[in-house]
Structure 1
Amino acid sequence: MNRRPTLLVAAAVTAAAVVSLSSCGGSDDDAGSKDGDKIAGADSGTEKGASPSPKAPGDGVKRPEIRLPKDVHNVFEGGKTGDPKKDAVLADNERWVNSLIEAVTVKAKDHPALKFYAAGDGLLSSAEYVQGFQEKKKSFVGTIRYYDRQVTMLKDGVAAVTYCKDGTKTYPKDLKTGAVDRSIKGSASDYAFVNTRVTKNAEGIWQTDSVTSTTASKKCTP
């Protein structure tokens, strides 16, 4: 079993999985891709004592707070492009990633941020990813780095966000015992190339509505 979370591949899951998205736990493999754990940077969130989600833009939208455990971090590189529209896309993409990791690593009855920043197939894929952890009673700790982030505006209200993900600094956590396995070394499979489509909704939120991921991508592996 892979010990690290891989970012998801869009797949079919039941609507019930989307609605539940409750307490965390599960396996790294089940989600179909690896997605990481550290959330630091402009959109980091943390549980008690950790840093909260980044300051919301002054757009008048009430955004759900995202908080991650102290031992879980996402590091986002290259958050500013100089183009306000592209910067807004990247910011909401970060929030989606953070909300996804929060749903995996923070035990809660519900995770409103994930349903706020994802929609359509993107929400279904996110739910499948979280459900994979829940079924195996697993989580993870550590840091994930997101780099080579690019935004392409496709048409009015639609864009593509691509990036590389390095999950070599994450470690599996057993939710039953709380034990963390730090013995596993990183490998090429811990790197992934992620391609997402985002669509601007009526509130002005760039929601992730499609996600694909290629693990051991030569584009992202050092």
Structure 2
Amino acid sequence: MKRRTPHLPVTAAIAATLLLAGCGSGSDPGDKIEGAGKEESASTSSPTASATPPAKVSDFGLPDDIKVEIEPNQTGDKAKDQILKEQAEGLMARQRLYVDLDPNSRYLTRYYADEAREFYVGEIKKSKSEGRTITGTYRYYDRKVEQNTDDRAIVTYCEDRTKAFAKDIKSGKALKVKPSPEDFIRNTATLRKTEHNTWLVQSFRGETAAKECQ
């Protein structure tokens, strides 16, 4: 049976526009994670991005067979740039979750809360029970802060998983399948600011086969 790397379900969380007016219940311990926030450049996803200073995010100690390319998207607005930087770190942390397969991961509690955290706890447990992890290249681009207040933000972005796959842990074999339009995803994430002035992803939803991302 063909197996793909885990995708974001359309119903992973409630609509971001509704959450913007709500209150988050997730906690942020303010822990510092080794490797997070170091001055390392994320890969860029297109030649046109070279004129923009690259986003400074950590590599999160990912294995050599996992590549993450994140378009910088510097806006010149200090608040928005901080949101995009931490959202990019959250994307890196997401890959680390599938490497460690630890539902109590500090990467999870640092970057995710509420529905988003619950979703990944379930995905981690499922992947661990099935003996699979991830491999390949994950590309994120066209990242935009659509709305933001002092403590809430909505970020939209495209995701390309045509070169990303699930991997069998025991054999180390990538479970490759033919790329399809389903591998292009348009995501909407809602983030909230904590008392430690960090941003957590509260919820997200993804639309597969998104034409605007192809």
Structure 1 residues not aligned, in runs of 5+: 13-39, 44-52, 56-64
Give the AA of the match of 1:207. L
User: What is the CA–CA distance in structure 1 between the aligned matches of 2:99 and 2:4, rounded to whole Å?
Assistant: 14
Is the contact made by 1:146 and 1:164 (CA closer than 8 Å) also made in structure 2?
A: yes
> Partner of 1:169 in structure 2?
163
CA distance in 2: counterparts of 1:154 and 1:171, whole angstroms: 33
1:10 equivalenced with 2:3 (yes/no)? no
Matched, 1:210 2:203: yes
What runs of 5+ residues in structure 2 fail to find an aligned partner? 15-39, 44-55
**More moved, 200-209 vs 98-107:** 98-107
Q: TM-score, normalised by structure 1?
A: 0.71
1: CA distance between counterparts of 2:62 and 2:165? 15
Secondary structure of the residue aligned to 1:161 is: strand
Letter in 2 for 1:96: G
Q: Does 1:189 align with 2:189?
A: no
Equivalent residue number for residue 16 of structure 1: none
What SS class does the counterpart of residue 219 from structure 1 fall into? helix
Question: CA offsets per residue over residues 155-190 of structure 1, 9 Å max, x none?
Answer: 2211100001000011221112212234x2210111
* C-alpha displacement of 1:70: 1.1
Which residue number corresponds to residue 148 of structure 1?
142
Q: How many residues are aligned here?
A: 175
Matched AA of 2:57 = P
Q: Tell me the secondary structure at the aligned position of residue 133 of structure 2.
A: strand
Report the CA distance between 1:114 and its aligned residue.
Answer: 1.6
Q: 1:69 to 1:108 in 2, by over 3 A?
A: farther
Give the TM-score taking structure 2 as reference length.
0.73
Change (3 A) 1:119 1:204: same
Q: CA contact under 8 A between 1:4 and 1:171: conserved in structure 2?
A: yes
Partner of 1:209: helix, strand, or coil? strand
Q: Distance in 2 between matches of 1:216 and 1:176?
A: 31
Q: Which residue of the partner structure matches residue 42 of structure 1?
A: 42
Counterpart Cα distance in 2 of 1:112 and 1:166: 26
Cα distance change, pair 215–132 in 1 and its aligned pair in 2 (3 A): farther
Read off the aligned partner of 2:163 and give its amino acid letter. Answer: K
Query: 1:198, CA displacement in angstroms?
Result: 0.5
**Cα 1:164–1:67 shift into 2, 3 Å:** same
AA matched with 1:130: I
Question: Displacement of 1:79 after TM fit?
Answer: 3.3
Letter of the structure 1 residue corresponding to residue 130 of structure 2: K
1:118-146 per-position Cα deviation (integer Å, ceiling 9, x unaligned): 11112112222323322321112111110
The structure with the largest helix share of the pair is 2
